[in-house]
Amino acid sequence: MLHVLMTTDVYHPLVSGVTRVVDVLIEELLKRNIKITLFAPAPQKEAFRFESNGKINKVYLKSFPLLGLYRDLRSPEIFSAYISTKGRFEKFFETDENVIIHAHTPYITTTLLRWVGKSLQMSFPIVLTYHTLINVYTQQRFGRWGKILEGLDKVFLTNVFKRSEVVITPSEYAKKVLVEYLPHSFRILSKKILKIPNPLSRENYRIPRKRASEYYDFLEDEYYAIFVGRISHEKNIPFLLKIFRRLPYKIVFVGRGPLLESFRRIAPKNAIFLGYVDDDVLDSLLFSARCFVIANQFDTFSLAALEAMAHGTPVISYYMGGYNEYVIHRENGFKFRTIEEARKYIRALFSDDDLYEQLKNGATKTAMKFHPDRVIPMYIALYKKFSTII
């Protein structure tokens, strides 16, 4: 049996792209009779917690909040987690299992698993997915002090990079940035990098039972724009507010984050911050929107933009960012460089129903490239190629 040890330092209650990718992978791999053991920080400060139903083990590690770095993000307490995990570790495995680590962050949880394995004389191959452009965030959030965090990031990243069989990036943009980010002495390791897009959930392709106007009477279906994501520093939300400040159309922001209330106070009347909504409401909002807009360089992929496309919603995007290579100008959306360009494309899309239908069809077609039936087999092929028998 194939047994995947899934590691992440980013998990619930922080709902992010990494969280959603991990959830989709677990759901799809279980359907294919692949055993999963998830190692993730506990959602509250608590002791080591273990759950199992036979096919999946969930190991929640005692954690603490990283308030100064990123509010709502929790990190495992590595030493207590090490002791707790080591005491139970060998019980996770059966005889003749093919085991591999799929790391979604190169930091605490992955390091912990390597240490525990080494102490028990167990060695596991690693597949690393590089999700987040940390240097972009730290530069924007902390300025010159971000260099210190960037240095720590490079230590962890290059350490796991050396030990990984393959490093997955979800876009060519992410690959390019990663290679440039690596210390010069490690750039030879770029041969390990392989592009595999993140999978969407099957739920993203289903037509919602309700339209957005049935949830919100102040919204007119197909006559508002939408952004979905963390309401935080790295998402460049002020840029989107500037775009819509002089437009007659509404933009809906979905998501929570440290800057939610700040933006609510300064936003123009046509910018609506809904905060968190459940999945059914989110699907309806994406399906009924005229377009999805995004303007940051932080995302290596942007699941939310692709989820919008799966609902047939065109994407209007800044010309840089990992999502950008999946936005085909005038085929499934538009790419802009300036605020005036963005306004021009938004006006065109809202005023021309034929153009809207054309881009809508293009978005739906593009999204099929990220269906789990197309993407998940790529991951499984890697797992089988590099896994080792315990």
**Helix, strand or coil, per DSSP, at residue 373:** helix
pLDDT number for residue 142: 67
Average confidence score pLDDT of the chain = 90
pLDDT number for residue 136: 65
Per-residue pLDDT tens digits for 68-86: 566 667 778 888 888 888 8
Provide mean pLDDT across the span 58-70: 77
User: Are both 2-199+372-389 and 202-370 of the same fold?
Assistant: yes
| Residue 44 reports pLDDT greater than 80 | no
Between CA 300 and CA 169 the distance in angstroms is: 8
Q: For the domain 202-370, what is the CATH superfamily, name and number?
A: Glycogen Phosphorylase B; (3.40.50.2000)
Q: DSSP characters for 306-357?
A: HHHHHTT--EEEESSSGGGGG--BTTTEEEESSHHHHHHHHHHHHH-HHHHH
Residue 279, token pair as written in the block = 């999945």
Asked whether 296 and 137 are in contact (CB, 8 A), the reply is no
Per-residue pLDDT tens digits for 287-326: 999 999 999 877 777 899 999 999 999 999 998 877 788 9
Q: pLDDT band at 194, cuts 50/70/90? A: very high
If you count them, how many residues does the chain have? 390
Q: Which residue has the tokens 């390019």?
A: 176
Rg (CA), the chain: 21
Asked whether 60 and 41 are in contact (CB, 8 A), the reply is yes
| Residue 182 reports pLDDT greater than 90 | no
Cα angle for residues 368, 373, 379 (degrees, 5° grid): 115
Task: Identify the CA nearest to 98 among candidates 7, 34, 177.
Answer: 34
Cis check: omega of the bond before 199, within 30 degrees of 0: no
Between CA 29 and CA 18 the distance in angstroms is: 16
Provide mean pLDDT across the span 180-203: 86
| Residue 47 reports pLDDT greater than 80 | no
Give the start-to-end residue ranges of the domains of the chain.
Answer: 2-199+372-389, 202-370
Beta strands in the chain, from DSSP E residues, in sequence order: 2-7, 35-41, 49-52, 56-61, 63-65, 74-76, 98-103, 126-129, 164-169, 193-195, 224-228, 250-254, 271-275, 291-294, 315-318, 333-336, 388-389
Per-residue pLDDT tens digits for 121-133: 998 999 999 987 7
- Tell me the residue type at 73: L
Check if CATH label 3.40.50.1860 holds for domain 2-199+372-389.
Answer: no
pLDDT number for residue 53: 79
Q: List Cβ neighbours of 196 (8 Å cut-off, separation of 6 or more).
A: 168, 170, 375, 378, 379, 382
Please state the separation of Cα 48 from the chain's center in Å: 25
